[in-house]
């Protein structure tokens, strides 16, 4: 079983960093982070992933949006969690200095140089994000998001069978949200 203490360290760190941030549905941001961690835990259990990699994937899941969305920096993560976690979260972060259209492909390119337990977090993240889209999204935006999910899956599908299958189901089901 995974380490509860490592889970709590990352959870509390993320809670403090994201503070009052909300999801697009207005829920506390932690619901997104714990949903991503939950997907990772399920896949690691099913796939009998070794404990060290499981703990690492869970920590990365809980921290995966800190660099992109909070004041936490690469250096903070390096100091508090070590180089592997800092590199992983950095690879999961979009580079905002690039044009918006290039940001996903750039992040995927950096993720492809990371071990599979890091890539798994990207699939888990998109699984969590393929829940019902916000009311404000029109059909065009919903379709574009589905297309982007297909691209992510095609690039990272080999990292984990359970998560790939689950994301594939989410992509196929997403059509029900088109107005």
Place of tokens 């699939």: 123
Q: How far is the CB of 125 from Mn ion (least distance, A)?
A: 4
166 and 127 Cβ atoms separated by less than 8 Å: yes
Residue 65 vs 117, nearer CB to Mn ion: 65
Q: What does the alpha-carbon distance between residue 155 and residue 178 come to, in Å, rounded to a whole number?
A: 25
Interface with Mn ion includes 65 (CB under 5 A)? yes
Interface with Mn ion includes 90 (CB under 5 A)? no
92-129: b (≥16 Cβ within 10 Å) or e: bbeeeeeeeeeebeebbebbeebeebbbbbbbbbbbbb
Interface with Mn ion includes 39 (CB under 5 A)? no
Q: What does the alpha-carbon distance between residue 73 and residue 67 come to, in Å, rounded to a whole number?
A: 5
Active site residue 169: no
Residue tagged active-site, from 69, 95, 138, 148: 69
15: Cα within 13 Å, side-chain hemisphere: 8
Active site residue 69: yes
Binding mask 111-150 for Mn ion (x = CB under 5 A): --------------x-------------------------
Q: How far is the CB of 128 from Mn ion (least distance, A)?
A: 7
Q: Which residue is nearest to Mn ion (CB)?
A: 125
Residue 87 vs 125, nearer CB to Mn ion: 125
173 and 166 Cβ atoms separated by less than 8 Å: no
Active site residues per annotation: 68-69
Residues that bind Mn ion (CB under 5 A): 65, 125
């Amino acid at each position: 079983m995974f380490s509860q203490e490592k889970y709590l360290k990352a959870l509390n760190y993320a809670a403090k960093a994201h503070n009052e941030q909300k999801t697009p549905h207005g829920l506390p941001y932690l619901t997104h982070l714990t949903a991503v961690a939950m997907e990772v835990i399920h896949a690691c259990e099913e796939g009998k992933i070794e404990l060290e990699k499981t703990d690492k994937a869970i920590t990365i899941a809980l921290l995966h949006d800190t660099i992109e969305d909070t004041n936490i920096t690469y250096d903070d993560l390096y100091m508090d969690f070590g180089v592997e976690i800092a590199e992983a979260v950095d690879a999961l972060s979009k580079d905002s200095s690039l044009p918006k259209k290039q940001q996903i492909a750039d992040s995927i390119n950096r993720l492809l140089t990371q071990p599979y337990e890091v890539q798994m977090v990207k699939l888990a993240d998109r699984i969590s994000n393929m829940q019902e889209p916000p009311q404000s999204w029109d059909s065009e935006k919903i379709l574009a998001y589905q297309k982007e999910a297909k691209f992510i899956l095609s690039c990272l599908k080999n990292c984990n069978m359970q998560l790939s299958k689950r994301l594939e189901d989410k992509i196929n089901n997403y059509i029900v949200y088109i107005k």
